[in-house]
Amino acid sequence: MVNLRKRTPADVKDDQTTTPLDGTNGHSNSNGHSSNNDTNGSGLHRDESQESIASLRSPSANVPPPMYKAIRFFFQICLHSFYGHVEVEGTESIAPDTYPAILVANHSNSLTDAIAILSTVPPKSRSMIRMTAKDTFWHKPGVFNYVIKNAGTIPIKRRKDYDNQKVDNADAMGALIDSLGTGSCVCMFPEGISRYHPQLAPFKAGVAMIASDTLARFKDQPDFSLTLMTSSINYLHREKFRSDVLVTFHPPIVLTPQQNPKLFSTVKEERTEAIQKLTEQLESTVRSNLLDADDWQTVRVGHVARKLYAGDLGTRISLGQYVRLTQKFVSAFGQHKQESLKKQDMERVKHENSGSDGENSDSLEMQQPIRMSQDIALKIDELAADLAEYQDQLDFYHLKDYRIKQGKPPVKVLVGKLFQRFLLACLLSTICIPGLILWAPVFIAVKYQERQIRRKGALEDNLDEIAQYKLMISAFFLPVIWGFWVMVTFPIALITGPGIVILMWLTIRWLEDLIHNAKSMLSLLRLLFMTEDTMYSFQDCRHELANRVQEFAVQFLKLPEDPEELVKENKTKKADGGWMGKLSGSYFSIKRRRRKDWNEVMRLHDVSHYD
């Protein structure tokens, strides 16, 4: 472990050089900022973004202001309210305060990615994380822009915002490096732009170049080191309300001037090669814990295979295990479509250099790519096609796989279950009515905005924005709704104030149970009218597919023959909390819905398509 000490502003001042990052002449104006910065408008716009940049050089740059703490708390409420389950792994890998660090993550859900990072990094591990954002947020008024500007965000100019003309970020990058010198942590998304796509985009070299310039700036400091932290963010249905999110932090990569001299070598070719290798290393590490495929159909087939192999496990395995198990199948189904043996060898080398220390591994950790013969690839293609057809049939009948496995119950049993669920649906519908009246403006506005986004064009370009707009609309309407009803009930405002908040949250919880209860009713109705021949045909198909998947999983993917072994590896299991915990977990939990399986959404049917 590299010995680190806290960097002080005096250290940074002594270490600063006069050579700008991008080769500009380095002349400064009276404010100490680069004189050739674009203003793209009035001086007010320039001053607002320059104030944010100047704050990076402040002695108190790493002390989170009250506004930052308030925003982080607000983001946590937003994230855990919108998504039904947020699981965080690897927080022990987060470099603590005073360690200069860059946090790298994938970018698939627009501004929601920043909310996820700020909400899941424990304040005790890192009290403040600075984000980067396009500088146009500083040029426009608005509540959301105000939040971004006051969350410690660094403004970065993008060519696409300036008619693809050359832009100058020298001052921002210089201040960013100064900030790193004092122990700051900056979060960056090397994909460049957010997009709705099943595959991670190639990383741009910006993070590695900043690391290179930072090491060059502090190369004379023997105890200086820069920690590169990586995070993989998995949204099972990123735009769906009450869906699941997994945030994984990987073992860090620690760079020092002594151990990584090639990153700031004066030989251009040597430095370029080192930057490229570091970029590939970061990309490989982030990709290692993502659901990542060439197309959405491969992801869909991977989910079907995982259900047939280990569908009985449900939520007894962690969300992280669920994602890694699914990715095992996804990688195998997609590998032979995209990778030559030469590329497999390159991926193997990148995996070995990914910075993972091999600790805390389990049977689901992604290993090196597997060499495939032509016969194996053909069998995998056939299996993938049969799995897709099986899921198509499940979607047609609106049934889940476990219904087929269990078979059709006797008619009396089906009628009894339908009656029970009908009574529960009546009860939940009744108690939801008052809260739904309060929520109505939010639901209407959100649905309208989602339809407008879907009409814009290609989903890849627009669907990643839906979650962020849902959060923005909710953040705007909810205080207005609360304030309106508090005023209407002013004589008893001390009661209705907290009462409205409690009622609106309980309505969401009741609504979740109502929708899933209604979904179960529809499935039971379809089973009631399904012929025995159709069910037998379904079961024969499932039995044959399950055997093929089991053989494929054990012999080819080296998964346990008994999937129950994965439950023993679940490190997120908690104590039941005594009889009270058992009671609340068996019936109703105020915090979240009790689930049988991951990947649920608030729909009357299962969402198996992602495109």
* Higher pLDDT among residues 159 and 474, named by residue: 474
Domain boundaries, the chain: 43-287, 296-392, 398-572
pLDDT of residue 59: 52
Helix (H, G, I), strand (E, B) or coil at 122: coil
Is the per-residue pLDDT at 227 higher than 90?
yes
Residue 9 has what pLDDT? 40
21 contacts: CB under 8 Å, gap ≥ 6: 170, 173, 174, 177, 213
Look at residue 470 and tell me whether its pLDDT is greater than 50: yes
> With bands split at pLDDT 50, 70 and 90, how would you rate the model's confidence at 458?
low
Residue range 574-589, pLDDT digits in tens: 544 444 444 444 557 8
Residue 135 — pLDDT band, cuts 50, 70, 90? confident
Residue scoring higher pLDDT (426 or 363): 426
**φ and ψ of 51, to 5 deg:** -65, -40
pLDDT of residue 57: 54
Nearest to 534 by CA among 415, 393, 391, 384: 393
Greater pLDDT, 83 or 29: 83
Tokens (6 digits) for 323: 């994602």
For every residue of 54-70, DSSP letters joined together read HHTTSTTTTS--HHHHH
Residue 582 confidence (pLDDT): 47
Residue 28 has pLDDT above 70, yes or no: no
Contacts (Cβ under 8 Å, ≥6 apart) of 457:
none
pLDDT in tens, 239-290: 999 999 999 999 999 999 999 999 999 999 999 999 999 999 999 999 999 9
Q: What is the pLDDT of residue 510?
A: 95
Spell out the residues 6+ positions from residue 30 whose beta carbon is closer than 8 angstroms to its own: none
Q: What is the pLDDT of residue 372?
A: 64
Stretch among 31-35, 122-126, 498-502, 507-511 having the lowest mean pLDDT: 31-35
Instruction: Among 27-31, 67-71, 214-218, 510-514, name the one with the lowest average pLDDT.
Output: 27-31
pLDDT (tens digit per residue) in 376-386: 888 899 999 99
Which CATH fold would you assign to the domain 43-287? Glycerol-3-phosphate (1)-acyltransferase (3.40.1130)
> What's the whole-number mean pLDDT along residues 120-132?
92
pLDDT value, residue 296: 93
Per-residue model confidence (pLDDT) at position 340: 41
Strands (DSSP E) contained in 116-174 are 132-134, 154-156
Q: What is the pLDDT of residue 106?
A: 97
Q: Give pLDDT tens digits for 289-319.
A: 999 999 999 999 999 999 999 999 999 999 9
In whole angstroms, what is the distance from residue 307 CA to residue 86 CA? 21
